[in-house]
Every structure is written in structure tokens, then in C-alpha cells.
């Protein structure tokens, strides 16, 4: 989950521990300034009676790590991100202090926080199915007679491969989030938990020096059998049960992650273990040990220094630009970074809703899903842009034109290829273009189903997922592949199909231009286009070396007039003369 989605939050739900009422009162006061409602539930209570599916919800826990565990247990299955406010004592997970609540919440609601994707672990045994964010402990049951055996033997299999017999007090299967203390006690490693997807088998108090923790993929199925009675606990006893001799315990990584909100007011992971576990590598508050080692440069456009996830190297993408050609009151690097983040963030709900389309049997229900997809994606994108560039104009296919009188207009198609989306076809995209004084200047196109991100700035080069792209150099029609947009009478297909290696129609104008840019096609033709169809794709295609004209070979003139739809002809440049000549001949020969 991308932090930009938090800017579309519609409600807050807080899981509150006893004694934290004053912090809850402050939360309600802060939330009222954002016109957000706050629903509070006692720790240990499910949120089902206050949670409304489909509403953009931010979860909060007010308490220590125990409260945070309870919050994860109820928020994670619903895909709700969680921000932990610490009113406890030793806290590794809920790390925002009450005095920072207002600032941290503002950062999250402006979409400037990060969201960690945390691995969870799942257990299944007779009479129990449970999920935890920390660990599952399988330990010897204390004997009734103090002189009876106090250790247990556990046979462990990993994907049906016999690991061995572990003799001691038991085993823990932990996630990267929960592995630190347990792993250290077993001479194992410290796991950096952020977006770390693994599970770890940790022996507890074994009687053999050679037994070590084992790190595994989360898809690994661990099957554990005990030679005597044992106890099983999830996340420190949040869920627990007794296990009988020879009973199978199945443990694996959970498919559902936990989304943990991180702000610049949290202690970062290595700061936390420095303070709480005596981590000796850092000299003091993150300062490098050698004076000549520079500090990590904070992210541009984010002065608080928190990281932005999922963003390609914007510095490389804008290297070599003639910055004198851009207005002095505007940072093109920041605009590109925000557009990429907004596209990634909007792609998440589109993927989620796209998966529901084919399971819906009624046209009206499909229409509702498509409407919701358009609405959610548009809201995420426009909210992210308004948060960073409040004076800029917005022109979206979904929400219309909001003019500001500045030279800057963001032109947005939150769902290009609606027909494809409606039929479960993966060829749909998000298109975000920035027009400066009437000229398309920045373009970002994101394809959620394939995770392809295309981007360019006028005067620079075109990029796809961090690598530079360019058009082909084919100059003969018989060697070329063409893409067609809407072709009402089939004339383009009829005139070019036999003359080329084929004509394909994707059903998304932004994708057509991007595939031209990366060389997946040699030319593209669109019968008519709206501004939001081409604002971003024009920049990307031109930066890759494409030539873009109208159907008569004149330079394509972009404008924001929705009443005048424009024909577009694009090619790799060297093919344009042959393409234009054949198109002109087809027009002359067409029946009047």
C-alpha cells in the first residue's frame, strides 16, 4: 500500500487501551479539524460494528504493543492501515508518542507518511486457525509433577522435507517484525522488518550447540509434530491452545499482510533497537562513526526525510534537462515524483476492483464497480496533487475542470480503457499529464495489472520502470506493426492490415502511445482523442523519439478543448513518410 492513499481517508477507527482516554480526546479534537469522524473501540473488541466496507479507513491503536497486536488482528484482515500511538512502556511497534499525535496524523492525512507491508504468519491445528504479526510459539506444557520431564521433542518438516528433531523447550516461528528478541536469544540474526517477506524457525533452549535458526520463504509449509503435550501461543498469548501428542501443527506465512503506517515522528527501526537493545554499531542518534561519511540525503520534496516507496530514480530521469526552460517557481523533479507516487497509489484500488469484475454477473453491479474504480483512482490522484500543488489547475475526465489561473494544469485520466476494465481485460492504465502554459510537459502512465510505469519530461528521455526506452528504426510498412485506436468504419484496419505485419487495437490511447515509445509498435493512429487521452502519452512518445502529427501530417496541436476531438498519427519518425503517403492515398481512394 502506498502512503498517498492515506490522503483519501474518510474515517478513523481507534482501538484504545484503558487509561488512554485523554489521548483519545485529543484525537477526536484533531480529527474534527479534518471533518473526520472517530469511532473508538476498547482493546480486544472487534471493529465490525463500526467499520463500513468500501470506506477509506485509517486505523489507530492507542496503547502499547499489546494494543497494537489487537489492532492488527482486527484491522489487517480488512486491509486497513494502522498507526500506533504509544501510551505503553517498552514499545517497538506503536512508536508515535502522544505529544507527536497531531503532527504525525497530519503527515498521514496529507499522504506524506509511508506504509510498511509487514509479513504475517498463520497457524492451523485441531480446533484452531489464527494469524499473528509477531510469532507462533510451540512450547512444552509444564508438567503437573515437578520431577517429570520439562523438555519436549518436536519433529519438523518443511514442504515435506524432514528438517529434524528439535529437543528443548520448544520452537518459535516468527516474522521479521517479531523475530528480534527471540532470534537474539537463540543466537540468530536481527531481521529488518520493513517490506521483508520471510519466516524464521527459531529453536528455544535447545540442548545442542549446532542447532540454529532457519530463515525460509513465507510460502514454506512447516508441519510440526510433538512427542508430548504442548502449548501453542500466537503473538504472546493473544490466541492460545493446547496441542496433544502427535497432533499436526501447520504453520506458514499468511497471504494477508499487515499495513503499518510510518511517519517521520516514529523512531526508525535501528533507532529503536539502539535505544532498547543496546545496538552498538551506531555512535549516537544516527550519526555516522566517521566524520567523512555523509548522512543519508533526505528525499527531495519531503523535507521530513521519510522515504517514498515504489518511486524510480527521479534524479536519473531528469538528468540533462535544460532547467532554464522551466519556470523558476516550479521544480519539475518534484512534480514527476508526485505524479509517479499518485499513479502507483491509484493503481492499488484499481487492481482490487478489477479482480471483482469477472465474478459479478449483473451489468448494473459491474457499472457500480467501474464507477467506484474511477472515483477512487481520481480521488487519490487529485488529492495527492492538491496536497503538494494547491495552486495548480486540475482537469480530470472523472471530476471535470477546476481552473486556478496558473500556467500549470494537471490532465488526468484515472482509468483509460474503461471497456477493457469492465470485461476483466488487463489493458487499462492511469494517465497523469502536466501541461505548462498549454504545452504537455510531463507524462506518467501506469499499467496496474502489469506494474509497468512509463514516464518522461519534455526535453528529456523516456523511461519504463527505471530503464530508458526509445522507438524502433523500421522505415518500411511491410516490416512494421501498427496500433489503432477507435476505428468507426474499419477503414484504417482495411487499408493497413495487408500492407504491414498487422494492426492491433488495445483499447487505451495512453497505452498505444507508450507502446510506440518503447518499440512494441512502429506507429499508432487514433480517429479522435480527448485531452486526457493523450496529455501524458504525448510527452512519453516524443521523449522516446516519436513523431506525432494529425491525420494530414501537420504537427499535432494539443489543447484542453473537449468539444474538438482530434485525430492523431504517431510513428517512430522514420516510418512517417510511408505511413502518411499510404494514409493519404487511402483517403483519396475511399468512396465518396
The residues assigned a catalytic role are 65
What is the spatial distance between Cα 337 and Cα 320, in angstroms, rounded to a whole number? 17
Long-range contacts of the stretch 412-416 (C-beta < 8 A, 24+) = 412/378, 412/381, 412/382, 412/532, 413/510, 413/532, 413/533, 414/346, 414/374, 414/377, 414/378, 414/381, 415/350, 415/370, 415/373, 415/374, 415/377, 416/508, 416/509, 416/510, 416/511, 416/532, 416/533
What is the spatial distance between Cα 73 and Cα 93, in angstroms, rounded to a whole number? 14
Tell me if 473 is assigned to a ligand binding site: no
Tell me if 397 is assigned to a ligand binding site: yes
β-pairing verdict for 222-226 and 248-253: antiparallel
* Beta strand segments in 397-494, E: 400-402, 408-416, 429-436, 439-447, 452-457, 462-464, 467-469, 482-484
- φ, ψ of residue 228 in degrees (nearest 5): -150, 180
Cβ(251)–Cβ(234) under 8 Å?
no
Tell me if 66 is assigned to a ligand binding site: yes
Which are the contacts of 134, defined by CB distance < 8 A and separation ≥ 6? 69, 174, 175, 177, 178, 235, 236
Tell me if 11 is assigned to a ligand binding site: no
Please, where are the H alpha helices in 123-168? Answer: none
Tell me if 416 is assigned to a ligand binding site: yes
Tell me if 443 is assigned to a ligand binding site: no
Tell me if 413 is assigned to a ligand binding site: yes
Tell me if 86 is assigned to a ligand binding site: no
Tell me if 134 is assigned to a ligand binding site: yes
Determine the number of helices (DSSP H) and then strands (DSSP E) in the chain. Answer: 13, 31
- Number of Cβ atoms within 10 Å of the Cβ of 573: 18
Tell me if 415 is assigned to a ligand binding site: yes
What is the spatial distance between Cα 550 and Cα 71, in angstroms, rounded to a whole number? 57
Sign of the Cα torsion 166, 169, 173, 174 reads negative
**From the annotation, which residues make up the binding site?**
65-66, 134-135, 150, 397, 413, 415-416, 533
Binding-site residues from annotation for Mg(2+): 397, 413, 415-416, 533
Numbered residues of the known binding site for NAD(+): 65-66, 134-135, 150
Amino acid at each position: 500500500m502506498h502512503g498517498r492513499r492515506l490522503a483519501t481517508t474518510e474515517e478513523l477507527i481507534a482501538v484504545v487501551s484503558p487509561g488512554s482516554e485523554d489521548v483519545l480526546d485529543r484525537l477526536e479534537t484533531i480529527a474534527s479539524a479534518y471533518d473526520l469522524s472517530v469511532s473508538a473501540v476498547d482493546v480486544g473488541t472487534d471493529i465490525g460494528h463500526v467499520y463500513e466496507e468500501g470506506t477509506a479507513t485509517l486505523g489507530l491503536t492507542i496503547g502499547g504493543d499489546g494494543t497494537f497486536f489487537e489492532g492488527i488482528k482486527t484491522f489487517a484482515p480488512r486491509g486497513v492501515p494502522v498507526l500506533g500511538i504509544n501510551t505503553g512502556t517498552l514499545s517497538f511497534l506503536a512508536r508515535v508518542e502522544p505529544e507527536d499525535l497531531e503532527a504525525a496524523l497530519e503527515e498521514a492525512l496529507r499522504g506524506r507518511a509511508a506504509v510498511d507491508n509487514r509479513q504475517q504468519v498463520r497457524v492451523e491445528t485441531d480446533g484452531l486457525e489464527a494469524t499473528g504479526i509477531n510469532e507462533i510459539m510451540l512450547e512444552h506444557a509444564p508438567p503437573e509433577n515437578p520431577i517429570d520431564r520439562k523438555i519436549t521433542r518436536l519433529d519438523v518438516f518443511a514442504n515435506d522435507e524432514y528438517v529434524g528433531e528439535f529437543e528443548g523447550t520448544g520452537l518459535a516461528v516468527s516474522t521479521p517484525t517479531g523475530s528480534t528478541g527471540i532470534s537474539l536469544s537463540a543466537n540468530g540474526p536481527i531481521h529488518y522488518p520493513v517490506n521483508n517477506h520471510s519466516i524464521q524457525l527459531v529453536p528455544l533452549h535447545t540442548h545442542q550447540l549446532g542447532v540454529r535458526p532457519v530463515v525460509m520463504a513465507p510460502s514454506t509449509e512447516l508441519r510440526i509434530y510433538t512427542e508430548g503435550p504442548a502449548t501453542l501461543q500466537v503473538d504472546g498469548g493473544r490466541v492460545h491452545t493446547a496441542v496433544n501428542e502427535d497432533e499436526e501443527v501447520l504453520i506458514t506465512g499468511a497471504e494477508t499482510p499487515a499495513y503499518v503506517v510510518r511517519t517521520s515522528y516514529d523512531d526508525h527501526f535501528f533507532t529503536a533497537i539502539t535505544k532498547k537493545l543496546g545496538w552498538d554499531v551506531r555512535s549516537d542518534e544516527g550519526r555516522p562513526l566517521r566524520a567523512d561519511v555523509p548522512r543519508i540525503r533526505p528525499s527531495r520534496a519531503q523535507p521530513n526525510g521519510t522515504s517514498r516507496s515504489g518511486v524510480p530514480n527521479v534524479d536519473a530521469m531528469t538528468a540533462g534537462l535544460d532547467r532554464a526552460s522551466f519556470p523558476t517557481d516550479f521544480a519539475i523533479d518534484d512534480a514527476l515524483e508526485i505524479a509517479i507516487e499518485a499513479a502507483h497509489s491509484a493503481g492499488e484500488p484499481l487492481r482490487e476492483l478489477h479482480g471483482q469484475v469477472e465474478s459479478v454477473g449483473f451489468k448494473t453491479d459491474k457499472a457500480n464497480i467501474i464507477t467506484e474504480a474511477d472515483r477512487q483512482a481520481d480521488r487519490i490522484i487529485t488529492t495527492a496533487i492538491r496536497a503538494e500543488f494547491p495552486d495548480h489547475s486540475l482537469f480530470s475526465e472523472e471530476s471535470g475542470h477546476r481552473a486556478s489561473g496558473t500556467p500549470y494544469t494537471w490532465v488526468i485520466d484515472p482509468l483509460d480503457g474503461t471497456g477493457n476494465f469492465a470485461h476483466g481485460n488487463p489493458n487499462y492504465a492511469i494517465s497523469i499529464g502536466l501541461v505548462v502554459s498549454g504545452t504537455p510537459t510531463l507524462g506518467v502512465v501506469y499499467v496496474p495489472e502489469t506494474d509497468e510505469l512509463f514516464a518522461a519530461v519534455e526535453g528529456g528521455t523516456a523511461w519504463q520502470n527505471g530503464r530508458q526506452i526509445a522507438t524502433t528504426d523500421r522505415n518500411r510498412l511491410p516490416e512494421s506493426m501498427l496500433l489503432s485506436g477507435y476505428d468507426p468504419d474499419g477503414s484504417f484496419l482495411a487499408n493497413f492490415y495487408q500492407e504491414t505485419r498487422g494492426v492491433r487495437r488495445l483499447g487505451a490511447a495512453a497505452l498505444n502511445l507508450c507502446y510506440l515509445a518503447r518499440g512494441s509498435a512502429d506507429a499508432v493512429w487514433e480517429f479522435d482523442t480527448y485531452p486526457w487521452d493523450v496529455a501524458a502519452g504525448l510527452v512519453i512518445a516524443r521523449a522516446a523519439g516519436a513523431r506525432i502529427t494529425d491525420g494530414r501530417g501537420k504537427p499535432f496541436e494539443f489543447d484542453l478543448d473537449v468539444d474538438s476531438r482530434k485525430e492523431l498519427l504517431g510513428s517512430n519518425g522514420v516510418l512517417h513518410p510511408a505511413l502518411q503517403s499510404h494514409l493519404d492515398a487511402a483517403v483519396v481512394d475511399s468512396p465518396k
